[in-house]
Structure 1
Amino acid sequence: PIGDQILYGTEEGVKEEISWYQNLFGEDLYLEIQRYPLNESQFKEYHESWLLQKAKDYATLHEKWNQRLVELSKTYSIPLVATNDIHYIDSEDWKAHEVLLNVQSGQTLETWERDSQGNLKSKIPNPKREVMATRELYFKSPEEMKLLFSDLPDAIDRTNQIGEKCNLSFDFQTKHYPIFIPPGLIGKEVLSEKREQAAQEFLKDLCLQGIQTRYTPEKLQEIAKIYPEKNPLDVVKERFEYEFEIITSKGMVDYMLIVYDFIDWAKRKQIPMGPGRGSAAGSLISYVTGITDIEPLRFHLFFERFINPERISYPDIDVDICMDRRQEVIDYVVEKYGKEKVAQIITFGTMKAKMAIRDVGRVLNVPLSKVNQIAALVPEDPNMTLEKAFQMDPELGLLMERDEEAKAVLEMAKKAEGSIRNTSTHAAGLIISQHPITEVIPICTAKDSDMVVTQYAMKPVESVGMLKIDFLGLKTLTSIQICVNAIAAKTQKKIDWVNLPLDDAPTFALLNQGKTLGVFQLESGGMQDLAKQLHIDVF
């Protein structure tokens, strides 16, 4: 890195490094200069000589660095720009920042000193805690910055120059959804209009074939019971034409085909897939293409819950996949659309009210019993904030007035609340893009994944026109398949669990007894109680 070359490298190494950056960035290359004046009084609070020395060393290093930057600016005609590293907004927030550092490190700010008999005596600063070597990392005013760099006024002015060069605007209109290449056009160069027409025809052919194979005489008899005044096949075709018109007019053909394609591939590979859940089960086209296995007319399911003609937004198809083989489906999608066009989605874990109290209490080395007492006063609500909690329970305010430790915890927790505690990846969501993702949004890497990860969370990433599909790994599917395989191995009888009868009396008896452990979405205590009360006798 250029910083290492500046401080420790040879002249030749510095020249080579700077030349590389100049060739890459041209007139957009600047040398960043920062100043953090040492205020010894800030570090004498605990009389820690090591901390004061750390601050002095940091200030000395920065001064040496800055002198070198000024020299290099003159030698290579690279303009200086004055900045300040910002870790918090106000100058007094350094303490809250230190608390957050040690939430991450697992250290406490203070530790207990013991007397010669081993008894707790008093709290002393913890020498193992994470601490910054300066308390100047706040958002400084223009006046403060001008005073710091009074000898380099041009370095201050160049912040405006850089600001004028940064012309970023978010495009919330353009969609970057991937396109589907019908089998007959793979490897061929064709106009986009021809490809779109071919995709529509391919989807229509799939649907017509699906109507023939899926709507057996038995299925049509069931529909005839619901619509006795109509020809059941006409009912199916009318529904198909209605859905097809909406899907094509809204430009959703590619989306339907992309989902169809990987589900069809998975089924051909005998990977257990869910029969369908959510609004997608209301689509006849989803059913006849094999995206779902639930016939919507029989169960009076509405297509408009899936795609509302009055709304512009894309539908959401949640795909349930056997947990053990989910990665195979993801690998297929990555291979088909390209590694550079598929990404996982980042998630940001923020400090909620109770979490902030517990984390801050631990870092401040407050007894766990007291921390739990404070946290218990905050209502159990994932959207609860400390501000709301104070309004709802006066006891929190009274506790702050009579207990200094509780006051310290709550004041610091207010500052820490909402801070990003950790990052992870969305459990199921994948982004699939028409273009390399780096051309549209920023990406990063994750520790536990070979795939790249978006730097935007789920809602923002969809807002800028990226397509998200949920690949949900479901243990229930895995368990069912294990049972089906075991039965087949022992009895040579293969159970088609997708087409099990829906009028099985022993099954209803189990449901009415609340024996639903292991049944997807029916196994919670509340659902078990409800099952007992409903007296279920029909699906």
Structure 2
Amino acid sequence: IHICLGTGKERDDPNRLRYATPEFYFKSQDDMYKLFKDVPNAIENTRSIADSIDLSIPTGSYHLPKFPLPANGSMTDPDEYLRSICKKGVIERYNDITPNIKQRMDHELDVIKAMGFSGYFLITQDFVKYARDNNIPVGPGRGSAAGSVVSYALGITDIDPMKHNLLFERFLNPDRVSMPDIDIDFCIERRGEVIDYIKKRYGENSVTQIITFGKMKARQVVRDVGRVMGYSFGDVDRVAKAIPNELNITLDAALNKSPDLQTMANGEFKELVDYSKVLEGMNRHASTHAAGVVITPSDLTDYMPLYKSSQGDITSQYDMKSLENLGLLKMDFLGLRNLTVIDHTIKLLQQKDVIIKIEKIPMDDAKVYKLFAKGLTIGVFQFESSGMREFLKKLKPTHFEDLIAMNALYRPGPMKNID
């Protein structure tokens, strides 16, 4: 069944790919002993060879590319260079550097240095600066990275963590050693330019996009297996629709919840459901991750195998989680259409001699909050779904903090308590 899925054939097709023998599996120790009982040395020699192999893939350390420090500069230490450009950035961001701001910046820089992540911040600020210098729209910041004064001073984010009382420890915590994760939004039309810049900066052989695997989930696996086994579309559709429409539901859970599915699984569709349960959760296909890019200190092939798709695209063979476990630098370059729409709007207004600085717009415009209170937010990032618009009508926000709370609550789990 699995071979047919991969080759797009039906099980009964006489011309489909078949194994030459039914023995394409790893035999047990007992099976091998029976096969080679007349040659016991063969078993012993095989065991000796296996025992002599000591292969372990090292994990637990980080492999960050070296950020190219300015050639004409006097600094050769990335920690000191980060501190120097951070100090300049803080002066630009804050007119009055209070003791609290200085203390917060020093604390963050000390943590970053102790964890060995100065290079990470230098790399990130470098490509964000490239985007801004080339008028490529960049998002103001997303996720826990907005809680860092260093990120704000470097221009990676545009949200003042001191003003909004955001915690740095949610982003980077010395008690929880893990690679920082900064997701950057770019204009969807020009995101590729930033990736091309990264490739030029660190070398074509050191940068690639990341693979992702489509899994065979409950409904999908039933449809795929049914097609391979030659069931009619109507029959397969009936079985698939008997599976409750719940996020990440498994076939076992569906059988417990759906009497109709249970009846079919115990009747004429028993073989279909049995095969589907075996294949459920397996990888169905490989594709390129929508945002992920990996950067290695030297050639990619020193750290991972590569995959070439049928379209000729090169990606890592390891997925995002595996790359993290290997300690490699992966970045999320997110293409956000809303940034593109805003950019086009500003340019159209410029043609009418209306100049708008998007980063300078007031955050207390009462007319804007009235639009939110009416649920007129289609096209506004993270506020345009039908459920969100209904809750906005109930909340009737009047301050920016109301929108922060609404956005934080509208996610699986907390949203059950919104009313």
Match of 1:174 among 49, 61, 76: 61
Structure-2 residue corresponding to 1:480: 342
Q: 1:139 to 1:268 in 2, by over 3 A?
A: same
- Give 1 or 2 for the bigger CA radius of gyration: 1
Give yes or no for contact 2:256–2:262 (8 Å, CA) kept in 1: no
1:144, distance to aligned residue in structure 2 (A): 4.5
Superposition pairs of residues 142-221 of structure 1, within 5 angstroms: 142=29, 144-145=31-32, 159-160=46-47, 162-164=49-51, 166-184=53-71, 195=76, 198-216=77-95
- Within 1, Cα distance between the matches of 2:30 and 2:88? 73
Of residues 317, 326, 333, the one that matches 1:455 is 317
TM-score, normalization by structure 2: 0.87
Q: CA deviation at 1:529?
A: 0.9
Given candidates 88, 100, 108, the residue that maps to 2:2 is 100
Aligned-partner Cα distance in 2 for 1:316–1:428:
13
Closer/same/farther in 2, CA of residues 157 and 178 from structure 1, 3 Å limit = same
Deviation (angstroms), 1:325: 0.9
Distance in 2, matches of 1:339 and 1:166, equals 34
Q: CA deviation at 1:108?
A: 2.8
CA distance in 2, matches of 1:536, 1:351: 41
1:430 partner letter = V
Deviation of residue 448 (structure 1)? Answer: 4.2
Q: Equivalent pairs: percent with the same residue?
A: 41
Change (3 A) 1:158 1:381: farther
Q: Distance in 2 between matches of 1:151 and 1:371?
A: 51
Is residue 314 of structure 2 the alignment partner of residue 443 of structure 1? no
Choose 264-273 or 427-436, whichever is displaced more: 427-436
In structure 2, what is the equivalent of residue 492 of structure 1? 353
The residue number in structure 1 matching 2:176 is 311
Q: 1:437 to 1:106 in 2, by over 3 A?
A: closer
C-alpha distance after superposition, 1:57-91 (max 9, x if no partner): xxxxxxxxxxxxxxxxxxxxxxxxxxxxxxxxxxx
After TM superposition, the structure 1 = structure 2 runs for residues 520-535 of structure 1, keeping only pairs within 5 Å, are: 520-535=381-396
* 1:260 paired to 2:133: no
Q: Compared with structure 1, are the counterparts of its residues 508 and 448 closer, same or farther at alpha carbon in structure 2 (3 Å cutoff)?
A: farther
Give yes or no for contact 1:176–1:465 (8 Å, CA) kept in 2.
Answer: yes
**8 A Cα contact 1:352 1:382, kept in partner:** no
List alignment gaps of at least 5 residues for structure 1. Answer: 1-98, 110-124, 189-193, 221-231
TM-score, normalising length: structure 1: 0.69
Q: Is the 8 A contact 1:176 1:435 kept in 2?
A: no
Alpha-carbon separation, structure 1, partners of 2:89 and 2:312: 37
The aligned residue for residue 290 of structure 2 is 427
What is the RMSD computed on CA atoms of the aligned residues?
Answer: 2.5
| 1:24-103 superposed matches below 5 A | 99-103=1-5
5 Å-filtered alignment, 1:114-153, equals: 125-142=12-29, 144-145=31-32
Greater fraction of residues in helix: 1
1:208 counterpart letter in structure 2 = K
Question: How many angstroms apart in 1 are the aligned matches of 2:46 and 2:251?
Answer: 37
Name the amino acid aligned to 2:65. Answer: P
In structure 2, what is the Cα distance between the partners aligned to 1:105 and 1:372?
Answer: 22
AA aligned to 2:58 is: D
| CA distance, structure 2, for counterparts of residue 203 and residue 261 of structure 1 | 11
Q: Which runs of 5+ in 2 are unaligned?
A: 401-419
The answer on 1:519 being equivalent to 2:380 is: yes
Picking from 324, 328, 334, the partner of 2:189 is: 324
